[in-house]
Structure formats: C-alpha cells, structure tokens
Structure 1
Amino acid sequence: MSINEQALGKIINDLQNKLQEANRMVASVQAQIQTREREKRLSELTNKELSSIDTNTVTYKSVGKMFVQEPLPSLTKELSTRVSEMDKDVAALDKKRIYWERNKTEAQGNLQELVRQIQQAQGA
C-alpha cells in the first residue's frame, strides 16, 4: 500500500466518521424537538382545561410523587411560562438541527466527490 493509498483511506475514514456523527446528532436533535413539542402541547392543553374552570377552584400541581395545592392563577401562569420556554427551546434546537444537517450534506458531498475522483483516476 502506497502512502497515497494510506492517506486516501484515512481521508475516507474521517469523512465517514463525520457523516455518521452528523446523522447521529440530527436524530438526537429531532428527538429532543419532538419531546419539547410534546411537553408544549401538554402544557397548552392543561392550560386550556384550567381556563374553563372557576378561579376559586382548589387546584393541585404534581411535585414528584406528591401533589401540592397551588392557586389557579399561579398554575396557569406557570403553564404559560413553560409554553414560552418550550418555544425558545424548539427554536434553539431547530438551529442545531439545521447546523448538523448542513454538516451531513457537506460530508456526503465531500465523500461522493472523493469517490468520483478516485473512479476517474482509476479509469485514466
């Protein structure tokens, strides 16, 4: 094996590793986005249900394995805050997803270009 073949093998291996890492990170970020979206939807639905009851109703919030009495306005405010936090989290995660998808596309393009150049060199 010549030095060029060894260097070429290392470059291909590095590009494959970069592509695998990008794929893994895209999947991870998408899972995090889905989780945040689910939490946001749950908070919105809970807030919607709480808005339909009387403000003097005794309400409780879950804290670990127990429930703590919480005034309704405080509970709805907390849920609204959670929804806005989830929106911010989803926006930040979406930026990460775009970054990793760009890395993935770049690695795929580089790998395809390298393979094309190798095929041309072997054909010449």
Structure 2
Amino acid sequence: MADEANRSAFMEIQGRMIDLTAKLKQVQNQMRNKEGEKKRAYLTLEELRQLSDDTNAYKSIGRTFVLEPKSFLVNEQEQKLKDSEASLASLQTSKEYLEKQLAEVENNLRELLQQDPGLARQIMSMAVM
C-alpha cells in the first residue's frame, strides 16, 4: 500500500518537474527573443542618432517603406528599447520563480527516493530496460 502511494507520489513529482522544465525553457526562449529585440532597437537608435535632426528616413512596415521624420523614429526606437527592458525584467522574475520551484521539486524527489530505497531501485531497473 505504501509502495503504491510512493509510486503515485513519484509520478506526480515527475510530471511537475517536466512541466516546470518546459515552462523554464519557454521563458528562456522569450528572454533570448527580447534580448534580440533590445539589441536591434539599440543599434537602430545609434544609427539614427548619427543623422542630422532635419533628416527624414524610411521606416519598414511589412513590405512597404514609409518616409518618417527622424524624431518620430528615434522616439519609436527608444520606446521599443524601454519595452524590451521591462519585458526582460519581468521574464527574469518569472525565471527565478520557476528555478526556485524546480529546485523545490528536485528536493521533494530526492526526499522521496531517500525515504523509499526500493522505489529508487524500481525506477533504475525501469530506466535500464
């Protein structure tokens, strides 16, 4: 009876670990994408700042290009930069939370396996097959 309870507890912990790992990878991918957006906005902003203030430049909208004043484009890139930084801060918080949750689940799994060495042997024999 206790063996079956430990087995079901292991399955539950394993499912939670898989779920948390997937969420963590998703957050890391989102962070990587936001880093790219931030870098593009920064580089575009640096190039725009080299132009004189009365210059008009083309902005890409899909496959169309629209002529815009430099000040409008600079403001737009600065806003993209701020938004990316805010998103990165939020994603970093989520990442830290998920890492703590994952560490907690790993500790729960470790405690369960130390509590029932027979379960650990069963799992190892299933993994070998």
Q: Same fold (TM over 0.5)?
A: yes
Match of 1:75 among 73, 76, 82: 73
Computed over aligned residues only, the root mean square deviation of the Cα atoms, in angstroms, reads 1.7
In structure 2, the partner of 1:5 is 3
Q: Which runs of 5+ in 1 are unaligned?
A: none
- What residue identity is the alignment partner of 1:78? E
Unaligned runs of 5+ in 2: 121-129
Match of residue 14 from structure 2: 16
Residue 34 of structure 1 deviates from its aligned partner by 0.9
Q: Secondary structure of the residue that 1:55 maps to in structure 2? A: coil
Letter in 2 for 1:43: A
Q: What TM-score does the superposition give when structure 1 sets the normalisation length? A: 0.91
CA distance in 1, matches of 2:56, 2:46: 17
Runs of 4+ off more than 6 Å: none
- The alpha-carbon deviation at position 120 of structure 1 amounts to 8.4
Q: Give the TM-score taking structure 2 as reference length.
A: 0.87
Percent identity, aligned pairs only? 28
1:103 to 101, 104, 112: 101
User: What CA distance in whole angstroms lies between the structure 2 residues aligned with 1:47 and 1:91?
Assistant: 21
| Alignment-derived partner of residue 32 in structure 1 | 30
The answer on 1:114 being equivalent to 2:112 is: yes
- Counterparts in 2 of 1:21 and 1:72: CA distance versus 1, 3 Å: same
- 1:61–1:121: structure 2 CA closer, same or farther, 3 Å change rule? closer
SS in 1 for 2:14: helix
Aligned partners of 1:118, 1:7: CA distance in 2, in Å? 11
Note if 1:92 corresponds to 2:90.
Answer: yes
